[in-house]
Chains A and B, each alone.
Chain A
Amino acid sequence: MKELLLIFLPLAGSIVALSWPSERTRPQLLPAVSLVHSVLAIWLLLDPPVVAPGAWLGFDPLARAILPAVSILFFVCSAYAVPYLRTRPERPNRVFVSVLLAMLGLMSAAHQARHLGLLWIATEALTFAAVPLIHFSGTSRAFEATWKYLLIGGTGIALSLLGSFCLGYASVKGGGSGDLTFAALMAQGRALSGPWVLIAWVLLLVGYGTKMGLAPMHTWKPDVYGEAPGIVGAILAGCVTTVAFTALLRVRAVVDAAGYGATAGRTLLVIGLFSMFVAALFLLGTRDFKRMLAYSSVEHMGILVIGAALGRVGVWAALFHVWNNGFIKGTLFLSAGNIRRAAGARTIDEVSGMSAITPRSAAIFVTAMLAATACPPFGPFFSELLIVRTAFATGHGASAGIFLVCLLFAFFGMTRLVFAIVDGRPRAAARLGGRRFGETAGVILPPLALLGLSLWLGLATPAVLRDSWAAAAEQIFPVL
């Protein structure tokens, strides 16, 4: 029952938000609903329900391993949304609040979807729901970003539907009864028609990979993350991408059961390394600190799929990294949003000396940047270390080498850009902006809380989380 509430409570909240009369109090719905959502999600994490084997929806180990992270990140972002929307009184927030809540419900549905078709429906609805958030600023640049998001994202979504159909056909061709739950597909195992499974894998990898933002399907990401408000970037990078990652993990389990696990692993490894490589190159070149965050997200998506390529321990590390990446991306986007508002610009040609104008946000931004580039003792260091160690242990030494080189270049690229905007002499425009958009507790505490969570995950990963990741890894690679 609680697991269904995770889906329907935010959806109901979304409808309430649509009909809520007051512009001023409407944003309060966001933290109210998402706080209940987080409590429910953590409750389910501590006390997992029994999932019926044939159920289409269920809080299974994989959902348990990721959904609480999504829920917590969303709650912190929604606490930030209240003061943020107060700084933008000129834009009506009815659609913004309603869509954010709907997205929370759809993400809960997608993470809990145990049926191929249902998973696609939730992901697709999520993709289109995000559109009004991207052009919230209403500038022509924002519409350009939205158009690219729609065309590339729409094509990706269409290809993942085709892939889902192909996987369904693999089952029907192999004598299946048309039951497209992942459990049934895995039970069919080697009876699935091989060529169709491989076609489906390629299409689903490209389709959901577009949603995740893996190179070379990442091109929408810098535009969208650059133009959307910081809070939207945080939710897209930390929450929405995990939906596509879960989808890939679930499909990967079926491909594995069909006997093509080695092929799936190789393709994931290649596409992951390529994503990291492309991201590192662009991180060295970009001059815009919000686009930088997008490339950093591409890099971390690459790290996730590399983890998923490396067997059970790798999946464990990848799930750990989902949490770390979510919290750190949230910190980065929220603090970057504060800096950008005060500075009124986003490139190193126009912004400098922000440590004098927004000292707290700048400090959080620099710390989070170091955490994102895998500096201990924050969480990402530990999950990435585990992925490297697993790569060496499973005989992927060359891949681990490329992985480390890409991390190094990403570090160079990000430090170059971040210190350029933080240090130096502040611009005149920023002095004005800094007075107008002060660093209130409402916009400082949320990113600080996320940073603290990441530190906590790194120093003392709770045992219940470790267990949940282990159970999820076992769901992907069942013990025979």
Chain B
Amino acid sequence: MERWCPVTEWVNLLVGLAMGLNLLALGSSRLPSVIRAMAVQGVVLGLIPVLMEGRFEWLVALMAAVTVLLKGFLIPGLLRRAMRAANIDREIEPLVGYVPSLLLGAGGTIVAVAVTYRLPLLPEHSHTLLVPGSLATIFTGFILLICRVKAISQVCGYLILENGIYLFGLLLVRSTPFLVESGILLDLAVGVFVIGIIVDRIQRAFDSLDTRKLTVLRE
């Protein structure tokens, strides 16, 4: 049944790299390194569909190029600009410290691998790291969303969460129409642009990107 396949090896290597970048994002206190981890992860994920296809296809290459451009360059660039405008480069007081969140992320990765063994997968997917990689990345995204207080870190968390979902979507890339995939990609991009604009407005309205200041509205 199991056939050694160089393509799978490459995909696994890249997914493994993405999982490592998760931990890097969780462990670093400086915002530029979180953004960089997220950007590199975006590039890595963009390359995977090309490798999975095995042969060259225009549509796949186009989608990969758009993904790499968006997740690797455009969105991180937007966030860097917002970061400079707000004059912050450090997450000073996260709700959960760096070492605990790193441990949490590592624990989550192990759980993700363990859970994957119990899920019914198609034979061609059971030897790839796609599912555990996706689950671990989603979990990392949630940790960043919940445990950080700067708006930019939370946006990074949201993007990493989306990266994880993108990884999961690759399981379906061969069986679903391409239109859907590209529509989803376009939508995500629009979403992030909207978020970027709002981050900018919050910075102007509150003179800070500390979301703990956003507490006027409560019961």
**A168: B residues at CB distance < 8 A:** 172, 175-176
In the bound complex, CA of A135 to CA of B168 (Å)? 34
Whether B184 contacts A117 by the Cβ 8 Å rule is yes
Bound-state CA distance A47–B184 (Å) is 33
* Contacting pair B175 A178 (CB below 8 A): yes
Contact of B171 among A151, A155, A169, A286 (CB under 8 A): A169
9-residue interface stretch from B11-19, B74-82, B97-105, B194-202: B194-202
Complex Cα distance, B86 from A215, in Å, reads 35
Assess whether B219 is in contact with A282, with CB atoms less than 8 Å apart.
Answer: yes
From residue 171 to 219 of chain B, which have CB atoms closer than 8 A to chain A? Answer: 171-172, 174-177, 180, 183-184, 187-188, 190-191, 194-195, 198, 201-202, 205-206, 211, 214-217, 219
Is residue A146 contacting chain B, with contact meaning CB distance below 8 A?
yes
Q: Digit string of A212-245 for contact with B (CB within 8 Å is 1, else 0)?
A: 0000000000110011000000000000000000
A172 at the interface (CB under 8 A from B): yes
A131 at the interface (CB under 8 A from B): yes
Q: Is B147 positioned at the interface, with any CB of A under 8 Å from its CB?
A: no
A158-B161 CB under 8 A given contacts A143-B201, A173-B120, A177-B175: yes
Q: How far is the CB of A177 from chain B (nearest CB, A)?
A: 7
Whether a CB of chain B sits under 8 angstroms from the CB of A140 is yes
Q: How far is the CB of B66 from chain A (nearest CB, A)?
A: 16
Name the A residues within 8 Å of B217 (CB-CB). Answer: 141, 144-145, 148, 222-223, 226-227
| Interface 1/0 per residue, A92-132 and B, CB below 8 Å | 00000000000000000000000101101100110110010
Report whether A151 and B165 are in contact in the complex, using a CB–CB cutoff of 8 Å: no
Shortest CB-to-CB span from A394 to chain B, Å, is 33
Q: Which residues of B contact A285 (CB under 8 A)?
A: 219
Check if B191 sits within 8 Å of A143, measured CB to CB: no
Is A196 an interface position by the 8 A CB rule?
Answer: yes
How close is A98's CB to chain B, nearest CB, in angstroms?
Answer: 14
Q: How many A-B residue pairs lie within 8 Å, measured between CB atoms?
A: 117
Query: Complex: how many Å from CA A228 to CA B153?
Result: 26
B174 to chain A, nearest CB (A): 8
Please, how many angstroms separate the alpha-carbon atoms of A125 and B194 in the complex? 11
Q: Please, how many angstroms separate the alpha-carbon atoms of A173 and B125 in the complex?
A: 11
Of the candidates B138, B180, B206, the one whose C-beta lies within 8 Å of that of A162 is B138
Residue A154, interface by CB 8 Å:
yes
Q: Is the CB of A117 within 8 A of B191?
A: no
Contacts known (A125-B190, A148-B214, A165-B168); A195 close to B120, Cβ less than 8 A:
yes
Looking at chain B's contact residues, is the secondary structure mostly helix, strand, loop, or mixed? helix
Contact yes or no, A165 B169, CB < 8 A = yes
| B151 interface contact, C-beta 8 A | yes
Contacts of A141 in B (CB 8 A): 216-217
- Interface residue B139 (Cβ < 8 Å from any Cβ of A): no
- Near B by CB (< 8 A), chain A positions 255-311 give 282, 285-286, 291
Whether A121 and B187, one on each chain, are in contact in the complex, defined by CB atoms closer than 8 angstroms, is yes
Given contacts A124-B191, A161-B165, A178-B172, whether A135 and B201 have CB atoms under 8 Å apart is: yes
Number of interface residues, chain B, beta carbon within 8 A: 40
Chain A residues near B165 (CB, 8 Å)?
A: 158, 161-162, 165
Q: Name the A residues within 8 Å of B151 (CB-CB).
A: 147
Q: Decide yes or no whether B162 CB sits under 8 A from chain A.
A: yes
Asked whether B67 is an interface residue with its Cβ less than 8 Å from the other chain, the reply is: no
Interface assignment of A193: CB less than 8 Å from any CB of chain B: yes
Give complex CA distance A161, B158 in Å: 13
CB closest chain-A residue, reference B186: A121
Q: Could you tell me if A169 and B161 are in contact, using CB atoms closer than 8 angstroms?
A: no
Chain A residues closer than 8 Å to B194, beta-carbon distance: 128, 131, 150
Residues of chain A within 8 A of B190, CB atoms compared: 125, 128
Cβ of B219 and Cβ of A173 under 8 Å apart?
A: no
A165 touches B171 (CB 8 A): yes
CA of A9 to CA of B192 in the docked complex: distance in angstroms? 27
| Contact call B195/A154, Cβ cutoff below 8 A | yes
B119 at the interface (CB under 8 A from A): yes
A124, A143, A178: the one within 8 Å of B198 (CB)? A143
B154 contacts A by Cβ under 8 Å:
yes
Residues of chain A with a CB closer than 8 A to B121's CB: 173
Q: Could you tell me the distance between the alpha carbons of A169 and B184 in the complex, rounded to whole angstroms?
A: 17
Q: Which residues of B contact A144 (CB under 8 A)?
A: 202, 214-217
A276 to chain B, nearest CB (A): 17
Residues of B within 8 A of A151 (CB): 145, 154, 158
Distance in angstroms between the alpha carbons of A195 and B169 in the assembled complex: 17
* Contacting residue for A140 out of B138, B195, B205, CB 8 A: B205
- Measured CB to CB, the closest approach of chain A to B170, in angstroms, equals 9
Interface positions of B from 76 to 113, Cβ below 8 Å from A = none
Q: Tell me, in angstroms, the Cα distance from A146 to B195 when the chains sit together.
A: 10
Task: Let me know if A180 and B176 touch, CB within 8 A.
Answer: yes
Q: How far is the CB of B35 from chain A (nearest CB, A)?
A: 18
* Cα distance, A140 to B213, chains bound together (Å): 11
Q: Specify the chain B residue showing the minimal Cβ separation from A288.
A: B219
Q: Please name all residues of chain A whose beta carbon is closer than 8 Å to the beta carbon of B5 when the two chains form the complex.
A: none
Q: Which residues of A contact B1 (CB under 8 A)?
A: none
Q: Which of B127-176 contact A (CB under 8 A)?
A: 138, 145, 151, 154, 158, 161-162, 165, 168-169, 171-172, 174-176
Is A154 in contact with B175, judged by CB distance below 8 angstroms? no
In the complex the two chains form, what is the Cα distance from A222 to B198 in whole Å? 19
A154-B195, A195-B119, A227-B217 known; A165+B206 contact, CB < 8 A: no
In chain A between 152 and 206, which residues have their CB closer than 8 angstroms to a CB of chain B? 154-155, 157-158, 161-162, 165-166, 168-169, 172-173, 176-178, 180, 193, 195-196
- Cross-chain contact of B206 among A128, A143, A154, A282 (Cβ < 8 A): A143
In the complex the two chains form, what is the Cα distance from A227 to B198 in whole Å?
15
CA distance A477 to B168 in the complex (A): 30
> Nearest chain-B residue to A295 (Cβ)?
B219
Which residues from chain B contact A127 at a C-beta distance below 8 Å? 191
A125-B187, A125-B190 given; A154·B176 CB < 8 A = no
A115 vs B181: C-alpha distance when bound (angstroms): 13
Further contacts, 8 of them, CB under 8 A, given A173-B121, A173-B122: A121-B184, A121-B187, A140-B206, A147-B198, A150-B194, A154-B158, A155-B161, A196-B120
Top 5 A-B pairs ranked by shortest CB distance? A178-B175, A117-B180, A144-B214, A140-B205, A223-B217
Contact sample, A vs B, 13 pairs, CB 8 Å cutoff: A117-B180, A120-B184, A121-B183, A140-B206, A140-B216, A147-B198, A147-B211, A150-B198, A165-B168, A165-B171, A172-B122, A196-B119, A223-B217
